[in-house]
């Protein structure tokens, strides 16, 4: 009996030792969830924030249901130069629909689009761009519009990088989204772009489902067509989710104040202020500063798309983390 006892004890030790050998390599094999971020202050700030809001022993612990993070899209999650992707879509839509609208040949801003006269188009300002959006984004059901968007994205290519727009998403931000979700955060897109322009592809590209996308919208109406219920898009503005509209959109769609906000332009200023300047003590704001002319673009105060001026000044006062793309990111886009 004694010999049997010692044999069982020895066997147990061997099994435990074998199990330990299996566990240790797995621990060493763990990879950095932010591997395309350089080990700079920006990465350290992200990790420090996540750790203090997720550890129950931390005085700044935030329960999982309250861990809301909001992200701008254009210039924050994907490229916005040489123009917003949705504007490129609208320009292509004008050309595709031109045969049904012969009057556009003599009517601005459509004439400028058809003639490739971007200088004249730029002078049309916000009013002209709104006319383009209304003309090219309405007159369809929501389902039909989302199909048009999806079809366009499969063939459209960025003029500089010659790649699909959905490949020009920032790999460090994709990692950040996954890192936050792995730590109990719910991630939302809060964009000045169209909500139904982003929803068809956001889940596949970012892992963000359509119900977690907030954006600008045009009015829709319920209509029965051939005994089929539809939502029909009419050429009227419903909501502009930009600047001061972003906190309003967040409140209407989410109903909770975020604890983390990520943007890149003055259009995100109010969203960053709403997130960080009030409420729970643990708050985090981050601005993506485009500083890499070689791998992407370099711009801030003097640009038509994604101007970063007031928000950059505010960051120095509020303590928001400013990401220097050239210095902080090992990699810009997803690999081809």
pLDDT in tens, the chain (336 residues): 444 444 444 444 433 444 433 343 433 345 999 999 999 999 999 999 999 999 999 999 999 999 999 999 999 999 999 999 999 999 999 999 999 999 999 999 999 999 999 889 888 877 888 999 999 999 999 999 999 999 999 999 999 999 999 999 999 999 999 999 999 999 999 999 999 999 999 999 999 999 999 999 999 999 999 999 999 999 999 999 999 999 999 999 999 999 999 999 999 999 999 999 976 678 999 999 999 999 999 999 999 899 999 999 999 999 999 999 999 999 999 875
Kindly report, residue by residue over 191-225, the tens digit of the pLDDT.
Answer: 999 999 999 999 999 999 999 999 999 999 999 99
What is the maximum span of the chain, computed from C-alpha positions, in angstroms? 103
pLDDT of residue 74: 97
pLDDT of residue 253: 98
Q: Is residue 95 part of a domain?
A: no
Cβ atoms < 10 Å from Cβ of 120: 15
Model-level pTM?
0.89
In contact, 73 and 263? CB cutoff 8 Å? no
pLDDT of residue 280: 66
Q: Is residue 188 part of a domain?
A: yes
**In whole angstroms, what is the distance from residue 30 CA to residue 43 CA?**
18
pLDDT of residue 26: 39
CB neighbour burial string for 28-64, b if at least 16 within 10 angstroms, e if fewer: eeeeeebebbbeeebbebbeebbebbbeeeeeeebee
**In whole angstroms, what is the distance from residue 301 CA to residue 152 CA?**
31
pLDDT of residue 122: 83
Domain count, the chain: 1
Q: Is residue 63 part of a domain?
A: yes
pLDDT of residue 4: 41
Q: Is residue 86 part of a domain?
A: no
For 328, phi and psi rounded to 5 degrees? -95, -20
Q: Is residue 296 part of a domain?
A: yes
**In whole angstroms, what is the distance from residue 184 CA to residue 312 CA?**
29
Q: Is residue 119 part of a domain?
A: no
**In whole angstroms, what is the distance from residue 15 CA to residue 23 CA?**
12
**In whole angstroms, what is the distance from residue 221 CA to residue 282 CA?**
41
Q: Is residue 109 part of a domain?
A: no
DSSP string, 213-251: EEEEEEEEEEEEETTEEEEEEEEEEEE--STTHHHHHHH
pLDDT of residue 139: 95
Domain that includes residue 52, residue range: 41-80+163-328
CATH of residue 257? 3.40.50.1000
pLDDT of residue 192: 95
Q: Is residue 94 part of a domain?
A: no
């Amino acid at each position: 009996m004694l010999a049997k006892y010692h044999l069982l004890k020895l066997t147990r030790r061997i099994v435990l030792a074998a199990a330990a050998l299996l566990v240790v390599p797995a621990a060493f094999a763990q990879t950095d969830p932010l591997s395309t971020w350089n080990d700079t202050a920006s990465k350290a700030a992200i990790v420090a924030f996540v750790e203090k809001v997720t550890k129950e022993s931390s005085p700044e612990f935030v329960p999982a249901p309250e861990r809301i993070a909001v992200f701008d899209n254009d210039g924050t999650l994907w490229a916005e130069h040489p123009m917003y992707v949705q504007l490129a879509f609208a320009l292509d839509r004008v050309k595709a629909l031109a045969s049904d609208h012969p009057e556009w040949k003599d009517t601005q801003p459509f004439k400028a689009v058809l003639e490739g006269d971007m200088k004249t188009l730029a002078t049309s300002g916000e009013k002209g761009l709104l006319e383009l959006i209304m003309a090219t984004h309405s007159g369809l059901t929501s389902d039909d519009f989302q199909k048009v968007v999806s079809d366009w994205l499969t063939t459209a290519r960025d003029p500089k990088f010659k790649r699909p727009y959905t490949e020009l998403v920032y790999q460090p931000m994709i990692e950040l989204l996954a890192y936050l979700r792995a730590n109990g955060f719910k991630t939302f897109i809060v964009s000045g772009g169209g909500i139904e322009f982003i929803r068809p592809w956001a889940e596949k590209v970012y892992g963000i489902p359509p119900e977690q996308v907030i954006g600008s919208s045009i009015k829709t109406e319920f209509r029965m067509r051939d005994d089929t219920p539809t939502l029909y898009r009419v050429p009227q503005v419903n909501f502009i989710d930009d600047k001061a509209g972003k906190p309003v959109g967040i409140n209407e769609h989410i109903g909770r104040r975020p604890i983390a906000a990520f943007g890149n332009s003055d259009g995100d200023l109010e969203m960053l202020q709403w997130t960080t300047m009030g409420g729970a003590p643990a708050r985090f704001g981050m601005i993506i500063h485009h500083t890499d002319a070689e791998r992407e673009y370099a711009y801030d105060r003097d640009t038509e798309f994604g101007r970063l001026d007031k928000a950059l000044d505010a960051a120095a006062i509020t303590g928001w983390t400013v990401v220097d793309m050239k210095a902080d990111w090992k990699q810009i886009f997803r690999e081809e």
